[in-house]
Amino acid sequence: MTEVQRPPLTADERGQLTGWLDLQRSFVRMKCQGLGEEDAHRKFLPTSPLMTMAGLVAHLRWNEYSWFQLNLAGVANTGQTPWTEGGHPDAEMFVDDVPIAQLLDEYDAECARSNETIAAHSLDALEQGPYAAKGEAASLRYILCHMIEETARHVGHLDIIRELLDGTTGYTSPNEDAA
């Protein structure tokens, strides 16, 4: 059984926030471990056809980018995002033709970049991106709490979809025997 590494019980605030976010991020890859392409892109929910394992990984990747690069760091959107003026609000989830391994690698790379941005800012640092211009800037502390919530919520979706796919649940990796 995969041992889940939680943040230390006595870590400081930054250590707790980043530790819990990293823990939730680790579950994303764990939930996708051993998936074939067909299962990674299988649509179970007729009312939410974009909510696939692959679609959720892509969504989480772009949320990392949006919150930490565009919003917090104020990096200019150079058009690399899937979102366009007047486009579909969930455009980042249109990934039927993208291999799950690529999506996971892109997610991991974005999380690493997010961690670099987090390390370069104080918890009180305010967003520099589009919301700052509207006078609605959030602190890094708020963003970390939100991203823990966002990632954990979608890990729950990944857990449910994975159980529907092959019965894998909880923290057990599909290639390991449950204790």
Neighbour-count burial of 1, counting CB atoms closer than 10 A to its CB (0-12 exposed, 13-18 middle, 19+ buried): exposed
Burial letters 100-127, b for 16+ CB under 10 A, else e: beebbebbbebbeebbebbeebeeebbb
Please give the model's pTM, rounded to 2 decimal places. Answer: 0.91
Angle at 30 between CA 177 and CA 166, to 5 degrees: 60
Lookup: tokens for 41: 């892109």
| Predicted local confidence at residue 133, as pLDDT | 75
pLDDT single digits (tens) 154-167: 999 999 999 999 99
The residue extents of the domains of the chain are 21-75+90-166
Domain 21-75+90-166 has CATH 1.20.1740.10: no
| Predicted local confidence at residue 179, as pLDDT | 38
**What span, in angstroms and rounded, lies between the C-alpha atoms of 62 and 65?**
5
Worst-scoring range by mean pLDDT, 23-37, 90-104, 127-141? 127-141
Angle at 27 between CA 128 and CA 152, to 5 degrees: 55
pLDDT single digits (tens) 104-144: 999 999 999 999 999 999 999 999 987 777 888 999 999 99
